[in-house]
Amino acid sequence: MATKDEVVVVLDFGGQYCHLIARRLRELGVYSFILPYTVKVKRLKELPIKGIVLSGGPSSVYEKGAPKLPKAVLSYALEEGIPMLGICYGHQLLAKMLGGTVESGKEREYGRATFYPRRRTGLFEGLWEEETVWMSHGDLVKDPPEGYEVLGTTSTCPVAAFGSEDSHVYGIQFHPEVAHTPCGRKVLGNFLDITGAARTWSMAPFVEETVARIKKEVGKKRVLLGLSGGVDSSVVAALLHKAIGSSLHCVFVDNGLLRDNDRPFVEDIFSKNVPVKNLHIVDASERFLTALKGVTDPEEKRRIIGHTFIDVFEEKAKILDKKVGRIEFLAQGTIYPDRVESASTSKHSAKIKSHHNVALPEGMRFSLIEPLAELYKDEVRAIGATLGLPRELVDRQPFPGPGLAVRCLGKVTRERLDTLRLADRIVREEVAAAGITKELWQYFPALLPVRTVGVMGDARTYNEAIAIRCVQSIDAMTANVYPFDWDVLRAMAARIVNEVKGVNRVFYDITDKPPATIEME
């Protein structure tokens, strides 16, 4: 298989852009993923490894307890001639471990800098004499290790890059993985050329590779998949369907927190386009709404919903155990951003919100299968397209696992959900009528738990308000508010106030992410 014949691993030293490095390498055609910096040589030896990247990180190499590359890993890479590239903290760490000197910079350097490559060959092939790069560091390398050349400087860093064409070990102080370093792609591409890894990674081999791995892992055992009808779980359904056919049991839970078209959409697509053999619809709306009664705290809503989902899956599994044989695995459409924002990737990242499929209860009976856990949404969409899933599914706007509960701010009641559902339909219809769906990442209303005074048909109203959220994004990590055409927005607001009982005012949320998140809870 082309993809994983050759891999370049990224060792995670806690840097916020670590995952972006792996993503960039994949974009450049080489399979890449992240491993903790504490990785054992044994694990590396099992991999068809062509190169190692050391990520950035918040520590200082002289700090007590600062993360270090295990000596055995360094020796192994040097002995085997495996090319290494240290970025930022990784650069300083390699310099220090190989005998160079690192010292504390006078002040932290954060932002754009001009980089002067000394040679425009090898790692810096194709660069200009001056390149804008993105820096974020306190310490800096003062002297390169013996036997290593200074490959570039900036006004503050005498050794902004060092390396050796004999050992193929390189360090760069700047971040090539971020968009603010325009030559970054070239530098990473040059490093891949140095590793000699074949540029064969693409979504098609990923599909084959993943299907083969699932087949091997699952064998004749059975898998239950929580299928929501969103892009991620649908792509997992298609992958599993390809891998294990009728051993896959898809469970669509109607939790009472869905939009009005969610259930028919799933029933339709998964009977026609992805004809999974076993689609089970479980109506658990009463149960979810009872569990959520009176709850207003967003994290508590997520916890309750996550646990209720697992309870429902476990009960369904028990029924299936008797009918078709024991269900061993639970598959989920978790993707990388779900994990970052739920802080399960590294102890350094902050918890933003517990995406329900990450916050699983302890002691769950299933083993987990999450084939998309390393990918971003746009990569998942590309896989969906490769699998031949219909565009209406692949291009579907994301919908959170906890559904309308996190858009029904405050108490979640049937009545408020119905109000929100109707407003949601109107927003979708108006966006579709304006022909702008392709420009948008998400567009939805949220019901606010505030009442304001209005006047309708000469009478006073004292009703709740709807906030419309409409954003553009590439990967949901950041998002921009959509600059609506005023007439479209006004028409949408007018329809909501006229058609949705109990709503007398509409707001448009004009906050980007960050500082806001996309969902309001």
Instruction: List interacting residues with ligand XMP (CB under 6 A).
Output: 302, 338, 341, 352-353, 355-357, 398, 400-402, 442, 476, 513, 517-519
Taking phi over 0 as left and psi of -120 to 50 as alpha, with beta for the rest, 24 belongs to alpha
Alpha carbon distances (Å) from 461 to 330, 466, 505 = 48, 15, 10
**CA distance readout (Å), 188 to 62, 240, 343, 449:** 28, 33, 27, 49
Structure tokens at 149: 């050349």
Beta bridge partners of 172: 87, 161
User: Could you tell me the two tokens for 32?
Assistant: 């890449």
Give the shortest CB-493-to-ligand XMP separation in angstroms. 22
Residue carrying the six token digits 């004809």 = 275
Nearer to ligand XMP, 209 or 232 (CB): 232
Burial class (CB in 10 A: 0-12, 13-18, 19+), 412: buried
How many CB atoms neighbour CB 482 within 10 A? 21
Residue among 483 and 514 whose Cβ is closer to ligand XMP: 514
Q: Using only the alpha carbons of the chain, give its radius of gyration.
A: 26
Phi, psi of 185, deg, nearest 5: -65, -40
What would the DSSP string read from start to end of 485-499?
-HHHHHHHHHHHHHH
Q: What's the closest the beta carbon of residue 401 comes to ligand XMP, in angstroms?
A: 3
Q: How far is the CB of 304 from ligand XMP (least distance, A)?
A: 12
Q: Provide the residue type at 341 as one letter.
A: E
DSSP strands (E only) in 144-293: 149-153, 161-164, 169-172, 222-226, 248-254, 278-283
Opening angle at CA 386, ends 243 and 375, nearest 5: 80
The rounded Cα 149 to chain-centroid distance in angstroms is 37
**Shortest Cβ distance from residue 58 to ligand XMP (Å)?**
22
Residue 504: phi, psi to the nearest 5? -125, 10
Cβ–Cβ contacts within 10 Å for residue 244, how many? 21
Is the Cβ of residue 248 or residue 518 nearer to ligand XMP in the bound state? Answer: 518
Q: Where are the beta strands (DSSP E) in 346-395?
A: 367-369
Q: Nearer Cβ to ligand XMP, position 439 or 499? A: 439
- Shortest spacing between CB 454 and ligand XMP, in angstroms: 29
Nearest CA to 382 out of 232, 487, 275, 496 is that of 232
For residues 421 and 513, which CB has a smaller minimum distance to ligand XMP in the complex?
513
User: What is the C-alpha to C-alpha distance for residues 513 and 444, in angstroms, rounded to an integer?
Assistant: 15
Q: How far is the CB of 130 from ligand XMP (least distance, A)?
A: 37
Give the whole-angstrom CA distance, residue 44 versus residue 83: 13
Q: Give the shortest CB-398-to-ligand XMP separation in angstroms.
A: 4
Q: One-letter amino acid identity for 27?
A: E
Nearer to ligand XMP, 294 or 515 (CB): 515
What residues are annotated to the active site?
Answer: 88, 175, 177
Q: Six-digit token pair at 334? A: 């978790």
Q: Considering beta carbons, is residue 218 or 476 the nearer one to ligand XMP? A: 476
Cβ 134 vs Cβ 174: under 8 Å: yes
- Specify the 3-state DSSP secondary structure of 307: helix
CB of 380 to ligand XMP, least distance (A): 12
Comparison of 387 and 518: residue with beta carbon closer to ligand XMP: 518
Largest CA distance in the chain: 86
Burial class (CB in 10 A: 0-12, 13-18, 19+), 253: buried
CB closer to ligand XMP, 189 vs 402: 402
Q: Which is nearer to ligand XMP, 70 or 398 (CB)?
A: 398
Minimum gap (Å) between residue 67 Cβ and ligand XMP: 28
Strands 149-153 and 161-164, bridge-based pairing: antiparallel
C-alpha span between 49 and 133 (Å, rounded): 28
Write down the least CB distance from residue 260 to ligand XMP, Å.
Answer: 18
Place of tokens 């990785």: 39
